[in-house]
Structure 1
Amino acid sequence: MTKLPTTKREKRDEINSQIDAFLKAKGEIVKANMGESGLVDGKYNTSHIGFNEPKQTRTPLNYVVATLEQRKQQKHAKNPVQPKRSNPKKKVIYDDFGDPIRWVWED
């Protein structure tokens, strides 16, 4: 017997029962202002922000891209797509009663 996954309703009921148990045990819910929980000592925690280093200059690689595009064009020019030849197919010839008489190759 497999256990069915919990539904949203069951999860919601479980959370509500945990809240009720917390409040019955003399717990207190304190309302926090918007954005207050992200503050450390009244300031935003900037240790995880990665914009501390100066902007680095980038090396232009336009000539590399041009070389790759040129190779791609040469590759397509060398190997033109040839039409695919169809292979001959074997066809059976039947008599008036539906019995096979012989095989014939058709293109």
Structure 2
Amino acid sequence: MIKKARIMASRRHKFSKPKSKADTREEISSQIDQFLQQKGEIQQVKMGESGLQDGKYNTSHLGFIEPKKERTPLNDVIVEMQQRNAAKKAPVTPTKPKQPKKKIIYDDFGDPIRWVWEE
């Protein structure tokens, strides 16, 4: 009986529920409260200011600053590849020789009489 209780207790703690959004919100708010109790300060900033450096956007991570680069046309290479692929023949699957099938012959009353092999 004691072994069974220990096994059941170990199974209970094996799987835990994933955190819900409410649990996460509660955890974050408790961390904020703890930060404020330790004399921490929260600065108020205007919307969009946190992404600015010296009053300007950080342009080092923007991807569209450089002018558009000229691309090398590869149409002839694509046509060549398509021709090579078309030239490859599809593998021929060998066809099986037809084997005779067993057919039942019935009498007038629907009872089976005999088997006949048909090709």
* TM-score, normalized by the shorter chain, greater than 0.5: yes
1:16 match: 29
| Number of aligned residues | 93
TM-score (norm 1): 0.61
Unaligned runs of 5+ in 1: 92-104
Greater shift in the superposed pair: 36-45 or 23-32: 23-32
Work out the percentage of aligned pairs sharing the same amino acid: 55
> Which consecutive residues of structure 2, in runs of 5 or more, have no partner in the other structure?
1-13, 103-116
Question: Cα 1:63–1:2, aligned 2, differ >3 Å: closer, same or farther?
Answer: same
TM-score after normalising by structure 2: 0.56
Quote how far apart the aligned CAs of 1:11 are: 1.4
CA RMSD of aligned residues (A): 3.4
Instruction: Assess, with a 3 A threshold, how the Cα gap between structure 1 residues 86 and 12 changes in structure 2: closer, same or farther.
Output: farther
Higher helix fraction (1 or 2): 2
| 1:6-51 C-alpha deviation (Å, 9 max, x unpaired) | 2222211111111222233343333322211000111111122244
